[in-house]
Amino acid sequence: METAGRAQAARDRVPRVDPYGFERPEDFDYAAYEEFFSAYLVILTRRAIKWSKLLKGGGGVQKSVTVKRYIRKGVPLEHRARVWMGVSGAQAQMDRNPGYYRRLLRGERDGSLEEAIRTDVNRTFPDNVSFRKGAEPCLQGTLYNVLLAYGHHDRGVGYCQGMNFIAGYLILITKNEEEAFWLLDALVGRILPENILGAGEPVHGQHLKAEGALPGQAAGAGVTAVRVAPP
């Protein structure tokens, strides 16, 4: 009875939805989570203070041995978007190309690309309250825009199944549509290994540039047989 009482008390104290917007499952052990987190919170607080001092001043994130060490130990949620944008090169790309993202969204229509994205957007993170159609705001529209813009941006990749979850998580972290797009560009175009987005036979040398695309954009971004791209 006492154990059941502690479990219920922990359930009452711990939010049903986590900081990213995901609902905790029915069998979630609230008591064990609370016990672990109460001890881990000391470590998280210490890290957050160090990150706040490092990023004081609001400038860009400069790569250094210290930054690398801090990243390996974990970036606090409140600083994650800024750090990821800086160290990935996404911030520099966005700064060098003002208005580029919006121009991509106004680009030529592609029915097959749009339909593929729309299908997957509807089944992205069903356990996240922000991706449900009744949410306010609902992030499905934001996710659709990011994926559509990337499909126009890198015609060689277009859209691959699985990109919706990557882009969706970036949106949850950045809370900014354009930043999520540039982080997706950094991941798919420069950071992730080739063919990571599917298990089909890789296709190389078919990277078509979108109108006004960035020089060398698609280099190294392996395309798989599951891609959805213009002919």
> How many residues comprise the chain?
231
pLDDT bracket for residue 9 (50, 70, 90): confident
C-alpha to C-alpha distance for 70 and 204, rounded to whole angstroms: 36
Kindly state the average pLDDT of the residues 95-123: 94
Q: Is 207 left (phi over 0), alpha (psi -120 to 50) or beta?
A: beta
Mean pLDDT of 49-54: 93
Look up residue 158 and give its DSSP letter: B
When pLDDT is averaged across residues 90-118 and rounded to a whole number, the result is 95
Q: What is the pLDDT of residue 226?
A: 32
| All residues at 6 or more sequence positions from 54 whose CB lies less than 8 Å from its CB, including other chains | 66, 67, 70
Better-scored residue on pLDDT, 202 or 91: 91
Q: Write out pLDDT tens, residues 181-198.
A: 999 999 998 898 876 665
Other CB atoms within 10 A of residue 115 CB: 11
State in Å, rounded, how far the first CA of the chain is from the last one.
Answer: 65
- Check residue 225 and give its pLDDT: 26
Which domains are seen in the chain, by residue range?
A: 2-88 (no CATH), 89-231 (1.10.8.270)
Whole-number Å distance between alpha carbons of 175 and 33: 26
What pLDDT is recorded for position 218? 33
The string over 14-48, giving b where at least 16 C-beta atoms fall within 10 Å of a residue's C-beta and e elsewhere, is eeeeeeebeebeeeeebbeebeeeeeeeeeeeebb
